[in-house]
Amino acid sequence: MKQVLHIFGKDVRHLWPQILVTLGLFVSFDVLHILSSPLDIPERQHIDSAAGLVTFVLTLAIWYLVVLAVQQEPLPGDRQFWLTKPYSRLQLLAAKVLFVVLFVNVPLVCSDFLILGAQGLPVFSSISRILLRQLPFAALFVLPSFANATVTRNVTQFVFAWFVALLGFSIQPLVSHGGNGTAINFFSVRHMVLVLGAIAFAIVVWQYLTRQTVAGRIALIALTCAGIPAFAAVSQWAACLRGSRQSENRGTGPASIRILETGQLRAVVGQYPPPEGVNVEFLLDVEGLPQDALLEGNGVAVVRVGGKEWPGGSQLGTSIARHGSEYWQTVHFDDSMLRMLKQQPIDLNGQFRFRLLTDTVQTTIAVTARSFRLPNVGSCHSVPEGDGVSLGCRIGPDSDEMSVRIRPEPRDSVFSAFPRATLPIGLNPTSDYRFGWSKIEPSAVFQFIPRREVATFERSLSIRNVDLAKYLVHRAER
């Protein structure tokens, strides 16, 4: 331990200017994010821009501090001065880890506490998640740079290696999927970050134990060249496995809940991407829901024509949601499919995954309120925009899932929601969500509804004899 502290003290003496700059950037980051707004307010735009710039510079400063600390005793080569000293390589590694923890991870924890506390967000209830988020933070911001620093001789090589790695990661989606991107969703990205951190950690330990720089460089090159396709393949396999397990563990739900077709439907020309096509909405009769409960579902629908499945087994995304007091199933048909299916009625067979959620209003706030707090969620700000209003909420790392709506409800209003907070993997412990409504009354109020999951289940639903010809809309009419 004495040797660890000796190496650590030597690094602090050599790098104290860089340490002070990094700590100063942490303080600036905290102040700017506390003063920033979850909404795009003109008077706060300069603060938001400065916060984004400081975030970028702080990230670079963290990487730079890590590489300087590691390369005080560079591992590649055989002529380093430290090889002549009685250094234990495990104690050398421990000294570097101590340096990074004290001057990167500890300031991040203090930054989280300061940002949450200054904005009135829960601090003590979030301690476990704040500490837990050090793992993805280290995997994304610290360990890759640490590993890179162990296989390079100086800062110039370090920067060049990062440039090559970023170029490789940028090219992989284009090469592996013809420019269409990779099938890695947000859930998989979080796991990808942890796997990336584990690989980087293994390279660091390998280098300090063996100093086999060639093997470490080969591992980093392999990760750079094949990382994203490998992660995408594992992601798809895991998603299929997870889906099959969920199907085995979920039944058809409470027998008291019945979902029936009413035969009423309507069409709305798509206003949001993809704009080409029509959203066909089918009115459903939902019976047997528990009091103060809401049903929502997402799934896929298969088209059948004349009793046969549409060629190619095309699956359409479909959802079921409540609008006002009615439940509607929405299916999007693009124009090419509409033209091909207009000749005769079709059937839609959908497979849904439903969630039964609580639906009791917890908090009511007038839309004229400009700033307010939501229990167990975060802080919100509202800004009038013409005859409407915009709402922005900043939630902490331990916030509950919540829906927000306006009453009385405007004709074009829809439910908006922010999910239960996930573990942040960046520098900021909070997340921002923005919503907007138009044509609201001055006396309108926001209603905030906690969403606690009561049950999840899967169920099939068929809608028959749908005549799509009536929903063809000429471009000139749009």
In the 3-class helix/strand/coil scheme, how is the chain assigned residue by residue? CHHHHHHHHHHHHHHHHHHHHHHHHHHHHHHHHHHCCCCCCHHHHHHHHHHHHHHHHHHHHHHHHHHHHHCCCCCCCCCCHHHHCCCCHHHHHHHHHHHHHHHHHHHHHHHHHHHHHHCCCCCHHHHHHHHHCHHHHHHHHHHHHHHHHHCCCCHHHHHHHHHHHHHHHHHHHHHHHCCCCCCCCHHHHHHHHHHHHHHHHHHHHHHHHHCCHHHHHHHHHHHHHHHHHHHHHHHHHHHHHHHHHHHHHCCCCCCCCEEEEEEEEEEEECCCCCCCCEEEEEEEEEECCCCCEEEEEEEEEEEEECCEECHHHCEEEEEEEEECCEEEEEEEECHHHHHHHCCCCEEEEEEEEEEEEECCCCEEEECCCCEEEECCCEEEEEEEECCEEEEEEEECCCCCCEEEEEECCCCCCCCEEECCCCCCCCCCCCEEEEEEECCCCCCCEEEEEECCEEEEEEEEEEEEEECHHHHCCCHHHC
Candidates 380, 383, 384, 406; CA nearest to 393 is 380
Region 32-37: what's the mean pLDDT? Answer: 88
Q: How confident is the model at residue 27 (pLDDT cuts 50, 70, 90)?
A: very high
> Is residue 87's pLDDT more than 80?
no
> Is residue 94's pLDDT more than 50?
yes
Report the distance separating Cα 246 and Cα 228, nearest Å.
26
Q: Which residue spans of the chain are classified as CATH 2.60.40?
A: 259-359+455-477, 363-450
The whole-number pLDDT of residue 167 equals 67
The whole-number pLDDT of residue 168 equals 62
The whole-number pLDDT of residue 276 equals 66
Region 399-427: what's the mean pLDDT? Answer: 76
The whole-number pLDDT of residue 177 equals 46
Region 407-424: what's the mean pLDDT? Answer: 71
pLDDT digits (tens, 9 = 90+) for 146-202: 888 888 888 887 787 777 666 665 665 554 444 444 444 444 566 677 777 888 888
The whole-number pLDDT of residue 234 equals 56
Report the distance separating Cα 263 and Cα 270, nearest Å.
22
Percentage of residues in the chain having pLDDT higher than 90: 15
Region 64-81: what's the mean pLDDT? Answer: 81
The whole-number pLDDT of residue 323 equals 81
Report the distance separating Cα 120 and Cα 381, nearest Å.
13
Contacts 24+ apart (CB under 8 A), 332-335: 332/270, 332/274, 332/277, 332/278, 332/279, 332/280, 333/277, 333/278, 333/280, 333/468, 333/471, 334/274, 334/276, 334/277, 335/276, 335/277
Q: How confident is the model at residue 16 (pLDDT cuts 50, 70, 90)?
A: very high
What average pLDDT does the chain have? 79
> Is residue 54's pLDDT more than 90?
yes
Q: Are 224 and 168 in contact (CB under 8 A)?
A: yes
Q: Which stretch of 71-80, 132-141, 317-326, 424-433 has the lowest confidence by average pLDDT?
A: 71-80
Q: How confident is the model at residue 304 (pLDDT cuts 50, 70, 90)?
A: confident
User: CA-CA distances (angstroms) from residue 66 to 75, 97, 135, 364?
Assistant: 14, 10, 16, 48
- Architecture in CATH for domain 363-450: Sandwich (2.60)
CA angle centred on 127, ends 125 and 133, rounded to 5°: 125
Region 405-425: what's the mean pLDDT? Answer: 73
Topology (CATH level 3) of domain 259-359+455-477: Immunoglobulin-like (2.60.40)
The whole-number pLDDT of residue 249 equals 46
Q: Are 140 and 197 in contact (CB under 8 A)?
A: yes
> Is residue 100's pLDDT more than 90?
yes
Classify strands 258-269 and 453-466 as parallel, antiparallel or unpaired.
unpaired
Report the distance separating Cα 292 and Cα 288, nearest Å.
12
Region 368-373: what's the mean pLDDT? Answer: 86
Q: Are 417 and 401 in contact (CB under 8 A)?
A: yes
> Is residue 453's pLDDT more than 90?
no
> Is residue 29's pLDDT more than 60?
yes
| pTM of the predicted protein model | 0.75
> Comparing 196 with 364, which gets the higher pLDDT?
364
The whole-number pLDDT of residue 411 equals 58
Region 381-387: what's the mean pLDDT? Answer: 85
> Is residue 258's pLDDT more than 80?
yes
> Is residue 404's pLDDT more than 60?
yes
The whole-number pLDDT of residue 190 equals 65
Region 16-37: what's the mean pLDDT? Answer: 93
> Is residue 13's pLDDT more than 80?
yes
Region 193-215: what's the mean pLDDT? Answer: 80
The whole-number pLDDT of residue 225 equals 63
Classify strands 258-269 and 346-358 as parallel, antiparallel or unpaired.
unpaired
> Is residue 275's pLDDT more than 60?
no
